Structure 1
Amino acid sequence: MVFAHDTQHSLVDAARLVNTAEVHPDSLASVAELDALVDEFGLTGSRTHSDEELQAVRSLRLVLKEAWSAPEDRAVAMVNKILADAGAIPQLIKHDQWDYHLHATSPAAPLDVRIAVEVAMALVDVIREKQLDRLRTCAADDCSAVLVDLSKNRSKLFCDTGNCANRTHVAAYRARKSAAAS
């Protein structure tokens, strides 16, 4: 395992959140879609189920996408700002099916703040372990989705939003066949 379970979970969820803006149509366009995403992520704490909450989470996607490709010093500055703005106070928590993990906001904090701080805490581990290269953008030419490479050999190149790997491999195969036929 590269990172603690809560770090891996937060990173994968962050990539999934960012990628809701990468599919067409946007898959985070309504409060109902946000509710479904929050349920899938298993996020706890208060919710307003409002358009304001939806817009705050949608806005967070841009910040998280920037963190995905930021150099270390920029990523550190972003993490520190998120944690400072939230007044984050990390605490070990055990709830639901999860063993001990870190929460750094109260359950009453706004949803976008809780998500941002969870991702920032995960990025703390990524930065400290010098593993920022595991946060990538899809290798497909026509895709800008993000991914987290948790493989042992650091070989994950394509996102999970569509068929990017298959599409790229088929195109390469056809190009080879075409070149061989010429």
Structure 2
Amino acid sequence: MCNTEPPASRSGADELATIEQLDALLVAHGYTGRVDHDEAELRDVHRTRTLLRHAWTLDRDDCVEAVNKMLRDARALPRLVRHDEQDWHMHATEPDAPLAERMRVEAALAFIDVIRMNEMGRLRICAADDCTGLLLDLSRNGLKRCGNRMNMIAFRERRAES
């Protein structure tokens, strides 16, 4: 979700500009629970995208503060759940909580793992001048680089050939 706005997006356009694009993202990533399908929800998701992109850039201690605020604001209460085709996993909000709040809390739970393992260095922003894509490096040696730039170059070459 954080890499849906330019220049981080693969297309170079805001890939979360419409309610329909948000719906497609939710389907692609298997979001469950309440979805309002309205402009207010889309604006809240945009605010969440900005908040999460900012949290990605923080040092460990500042990220702890941001994560704690996200959890506190949502009155998050972690619990294990199993639904649909998914095995046991953690939720910390109710299914009828606003979509953007659920997104923030899910991201906060993921940040917790990164912080606890002292792996903030694996959260990166693409080093290319024309890309602000976020990268979570899960490679063994921690040397993975952003593929958005190369994907964008290939995309533009295919369009030029058409």
Query: TM (normalized to structure 1)?
Result: 0.78
Distance 1:133 1:166, change over 3 A: farther
Question: Aligned partners of 1:45 and 1:162: how far apart in 2?
Answer: 34
Instruction: Report Cα offsets for 1:45-100 as digits up to 9, x if no partner.
Output: 01110011011001111110111110011100000000000000000011122211
Q: 2:109 is matched with which residue?
A: 121
> Which residue type is aligned with residue 114 of structure 1?
R
Confirm whether residue 64 of structure 1 aligns to residue 52 of structure 2: yes
- 2:80 is aligned to 92
**Counterpart-to-counterpart distance in 2, 1:28 and 1:112:** 13
Q: Determine the structure 1 residue equivalent to 2:39.
A: 51
- Return the letter of the residue paired with 1:140: A
Distance 1:101 1:69 in 2: 27
The number of residue pairs the alignment matches comes to 150
Contact 2:131 2:149 survives alignment (8 Å): no
| Structure 2 residue runs without a partner (length 5+) | 155-162
Partners of 1:31 and 1:49 within 8 A in 2: yes
Partner of 2:159: none
Q: Which residue of 1 aligns with 2:150?
A: 163
Aligned CA-pair RMSD? 1.6
In structure 1, C-alpha distance between the alignment counterparts of 2:152 and 2:138, rounded to whole Å? 17
Q: Post-superposition shift, 1:142?
A: 1.8
1:12 alignment counterpart:
none
Q: TM-score, normalised by structure 2?
A: 0.87
After TM superposition, the runs of 4+ consecutive aligned structure 1 residues lying more than 6 A away are none
CA distance in 2, matches of 1:164, 1:136: 18
Corresponding residue to 1:105 among 64, 89, 93: 93
Aligned residue in 1 for 2:3:
19
Taking every aligned residue pair, what percent have the same amino acid on both sides? 44
